Structure 1
Amino acid sequence: MENAQPSQSKLILPASSASRRTFLKGSSVLAGTALSTVAIPHVHAASDDTIRFAVIGCGGRGSGAADNIMKTKGNVKMVAVADAFESKAQYAVKRLASTHGDKVDVPEDQVFSGLDAYKQAIDVECDLVVIATPPGFKPQQFEYAVNKGRHIFMEKPVASDATGVKRVLKSVEDSKKKNLMVGIGLQRRHEPQYIETIQRIHDGAIGDVISQQVYWNGNGIWYRNREPGQTEMAFQTNNWYHFNWLSGDQICEQHIHNLDVGCWVKGSYPVECNGMGGHEQREAGDGSKSQIFDHTFCEYTFADGTKMFSQGRHLKGGWSHVGEFAQGTKGTADPSGRIFGENAWKYGGEKSRGNVNGHQQEQHDLIEALMRGETYNEGEYGAHSTFCAILGREACYSGKVIKWDELLEKGRELAPGIDDYTIDSVPPVVPGEDGKYPIPVPGQYSPFA
């Protein structure tokens, strides 16, 4: 598959010359003419132009996105929630209502729980769906929301394996035919310091980009102990970060942000990757409870032969750094706001560097576009940046040079049959007789089906 180019900036596409109310009422109906074989419900805003939204996944980012949406200038109302666990869904409604009052209008019968609860929440009359579940569950949830004609905000990463990425890309194409909004939680794309700096790089401020370094090195991540009476599926779903089929590992779940910036700077995606990594610190600590690596290092190669070097790490007491750096033929750059060399420059816009909350800004942009009756679609670069992280992970797991096109075509599926999972299902990985979960072994692991 030929590599797609990432979006260079937020793309705003006019929906029509009609009013915003007409747009919200008619966008999914008009989409039915493009995909006549898909059953499209009559999606509309309330008569007062309220943008009604449902939240799928009520953890930190789901509740956070809902909070951000309700802090915009839009006339918005949260009308349904869904989570794998009823207690989390109920708590999210209570907490958000205490802050936002009548912007939270979620009756008891619109609080849903279970692994298939996303269908019930999306079926509620709404205009926008927030999807903030573990990455392994997102492809089918995104597909369902697109089929229902909903506008969508989906957190990154959008999948945990090649199969999921391909499924998302197919749904992205369907969403474009329906003129649906698709926002993806790669919030740096909405931060003015990044937008302006990278535009200057594209305009030649550092010449040709010849190499980059990207980092997400931190101390570690949360771990949730097994609760009495939990099924194995419930334990893994609640502790999702530590299972590859759910999270995609640290390189997907966190480091994707930096990889996305590097590909945005370059204006393309890599054609291959080699990498190395391991599980050493976790093996000495919580290794029996976690599948994921605690360090990865990748060398990505672009079609023109230039490189992007990547570090991702969970290491207590080690060097912590999250950021990006680019070298060019005329200078160097920190894409978050600095250029060095003959065209030296520092970001100094209305908001000084670091003061723009990207999570909030991406929701301002999304809601304001819907209020104007416009859409933009970030789904394609969200899927490709996710796959860039998956490519790096599989290179580190296998210890081999992995080609982008080959992995996208033949990459292994981490959770076959995921659409039918319930909280009582047997998950795709289980502990062995020693109580430990399987860990990829470089040199032995195969990234292909």
Structure 2
Amino acid sequence: MPQNSDRRSFLKQSTAVAGVTALSATALSASVAKTAHAAGSDEIRIVLIGCGGRGKGAMVNIFKSQGNVKLVAVHDAFAESAQQALKTLGRKAYADKIDVPPDHVFSGLEGYKAAIDVDCDLVVIATPPGFKPQQFEYAVNKGRHIFMEKPVATDPAGIRRVLKSVEESKKKGLMVGVGLQRRHEPQYKETIERIHDGAIGEVVSQQVYWNGGGIWYRNRKEDQSEMQFQCNNWYHFNWICGDQITEQHIHNLDVGCWVKNMYPVECNGMGGREQRVDGDASKSQIFDHTFCEYTFADDSKMFSQGRHLAGSWTHVGEHVQGTKGTADPSGWIKGENAWEYTGKQLNGHQQEQHDLIDALMRGDIYNEGEYGAHSTFTAIMGREACYSGKIIKWDELMEKGGDLAPGIDDFSLDSPVPESARPDANGIYPIPVPGKYKPFG
């Protein structure tokens, strides 16, 4: 790069240089690092899509990074949420990192396009997963660097769309970070590296857990349309959320696949609803407990528990058994190569943003989109096994799995909800019944 290049030039031109394979990534990074600050224009302009708790949390993490960052536009389905996010972030002493004029505050299900169209370098997508495939696709088509929270979709059609966009992002040399933050925590990284180096021999089985208490529920407001109600109460509708196994348990499933360095070829499972059956809480589609048996190509197993049951045993973690010992990927190994992580415990949400912003500042582009999509698909496969009561094959589901919300690109807050989520005359939503539910539409 020319010696007078600045950060903005690099961020805008990174798609062009990506295709020039003869240019060393190391040399490019060194050139950018050497000249960006001297040029006095090293600012990374950011657009936030999705202003809920995780969206605001991701922005705080980015503000705490060492980069020269500026939030320049926000979008949320609900205008009041977008406005509240700006007030909240401003109160947290980050006012100097926010420059969002009134005409850069966008709302509505379709408003993400106008937000991404704003002159920016990085798009942070923290919306419910049902909306991410089209938002990610649009950001890639616009040539933006992207951080996208997990999970990245709720159905196989969405995964196929994300994977196609990931390939396009690689061609354009775009940064793609995905919010599976354990992959950025040194305690996990070092432990799993030792497992890969043979510290516990061959991995033969794993248990992964996300067992928690109850979850939030937002009662219907009198003036809400059905679409507004479901978007505001998104955790309880599969086309937007993907169920608890997809929305939260994905973290532990991702670790298990990382440990194996592969993805499962099939899954069988079971689950249902025990507490979410009465009153307002029954206005929900999701299960409150699941159990899955995943099988990898080498016949090793990963057993999965996921639930939201108030008053029950809670545990979030992963445990690995090998031919020479056992391990907890969060920091210890037992057996002939016993070891325990003694380094600094870092917050994964913060570290993933330190890594992303630092890499952007150095011009060191990485792409986490593929494993983000495959780990999400692992969770979707488990959900479909639990819902259907059948053994689900990875390849068949990837090829034939359906779409929970056809036409989602054209949805507005006044649109009818997808057929898969429409209540009957008594206000009861469709509930998956094992043995009757059809995983392929």
Mark yes or no: TM-score above 0.5.
yes
Q: Deviations for 1:244-268, whole angstroms, at most 9, x for unmatched residues?
A: 0000000000000000000000110
Q: Which residue of 2 aligns with 1:40?
A: none
Does residue 365 (structure 1) correspond to residue 355 (structure 2)? The answer is: yes
Does the C-alpha gap of structure 1 residues 432 and 364 become closer, same or farther in structure 2, counting only changes over 3 Å?
Answer: same
Does residue 114 (structure 1) correspond to residue 108 (structure 2)? The answer is: yes
Q: Which residue of 1 aligns with 2:57?
A: 64
- In structure 2, what is the Cα distance between the partners aligned to 1:435 and 1:336? 44
2:383 to 387, 390, 393: 393
2:12 to 25, 28, 41: 25
Does residue 55 (structure 1) correspond to residue 51 (structure 2)? The answer is: no
Q: Which residue of 1 aligns with 2:438?
A: 446
Q: Which residue of 2 aligns with 1:9?
A: none
* SS of equivalent residue, structure 1 residue 283: coil
- In structure 2, what is the Cα distance between the partners aligned to 1:256 and 1:27? 31
- In structure 1, what is the Cα distance between the partners aligned to 2:252 and 2:178? 15
Q: Which residue of 1 aligns with 2:30?
A: none
- In structure 2, what is the Cα distance between the partners aligned to 1:285 and 1:379? 40
- In structure 2, what is the Cα distance between the partners aligned to 1:97 and 1:318? 39
Aligned pairs, number: 422
Does the C-alpha gap of structure 1 residues 172 and 276 become closer, same or farther in structure 2, counting only changes over 3 Å?
Answer: same
Does residue 423 (structure 1) correspond to residue 408 (structure 2)? The answer is: no
* SS of equivalent residue, structure 2 residue 161: helix
2:274 to 276, 280, 283: 280
Kept after mapping to 2: 8 A contact 1:298/1:311:
yes
- In structure 2, what is the Cα distance between the partners aligned to 1:285 and 1:313? 20
Q: Which residue of 2 aligns with 1:186?
A: 180
Alignment of 1:31-430 (within 5 A): 48-99=41-92, 100-284=94-278, 286-349=280-343, 351=344, 355-428=345-418, 429-430=421-422
One-letter amino acid of the structure 2 residue matched with residue 432 of structure 1? D
Does the C-alpha gap of structure 1 residues 285 and 214 become closer, same or farther in structure 2, counting only changes over 3 Å?
Answer: farther
- In structure 1, what is the Cα distance between the partners aligned to 2:40 and 2:119? 13
- After TM superposition, give the deviation of residue 19 of structure 1 in Å: 6.2
* SS of equivalent residue, structure 1 residue 142: helix
- In structure 2, what is the Cα distance between the partners aligned to 1:29 and 1:53? 20
Does residue 435 (structure 1) correspond to residue 427 (structure 2)? The answer is: yes
Q: Deviations for 1:270-301, whole angstroms, at most 9, x for unmatched residues?
A: 00000000012111454531100000000000
Give TM-score, length-normalised by structure 1.
0.91
- In structure 2, what is the Cα distance between the partners aligned to 1:293 and 1:170? 30
- In structure 1, what is the Cα distance between the partners aligned to 2:7 and 2:323? 47
One-letter amino acid of the structure 2 residue matched with residue 311 of structure 1? Q
- In structure 2, what is the Cα distance between the partners aligned to 1:148 and 1:433? 43
One-letter amino acid of the structure 1 residue matched with residue 424 of structure 2? G
* SS of equivalent residue, structure 1 residue 246: coil
Give TM-score, length-normalised by structure 2.
0.93
What's the % identity of the aligned pairs?
Answer: 74
Kept after mapping to 1: 8 A contact 2:288/2:309:
yes
CA RMSD of aligned residues (A): 2.0
Q: Deviations for 1:217-249, whole angstroms, at most 9, x for unmatched residues?
A: 000211111112111000000100000000000
Q: What residue ranges of structure 1 are gaps of 5+ in the alignment?
A: 1-13, 35-43
Kept after mapping to 2: 8 A contact 1:296/1:312:
yes
- In structure 2, what is the Cα distance between the partners aligned to 1:192 and 1:32? 32
Runs of 4+ in 1 over 3 A off after TM superposition: 17-22, 28-34, 44-47, 284-287
- In structure 2, what is the Cα distance between the partners aligned to 1:199 and 1:83? 39
Q: Deviations for 1:20-53, whole angstroms, at most 9, x for unmatched residues?
A: 444213113456999xxxxxxxxx9996210000
Kept after mapping to 1: 8 A contact 2:155/2:380:
yes
- In structure 2, what is the Cα distance between the partners aligned to 1:444 and 1:430? 18
* SS of equivalent residue, structure 2 residue 383: helix
One-letter amino acid of the structure 1 residue matched with residue 86 of structure 2? V
Q: What residue ranges of structure 2 are gaps of 5+ in the alignment?
A: 22-35
- After TM superposition, give the deviation of residue 435 of structure 1 in Å: 1.2
* SS of equivalent residue, structure 2 residue 45: strand
Kept after mapping to 1: 8 A contact 2:125/2:136:
yes
- In structure 2, what is the Cα distance between the partners aligned to 1:32 and 1:265? 32
- In structure 2, what is the Cα distance between the partners aligned to 1:240 and 1:286? 14
- In structure 2, what is the Cα distance between the partners aligned to 1:232 and 1:30? 47
- In structure 2, what is the Cα distance between the partners aligned to 1:69 and 1:153? 11
One-letter amino acid of the structure 1 residue matched with residue 171 of structure 2? K
Kept after mapping to 1: 8 A contact 2:6/2:42:
no
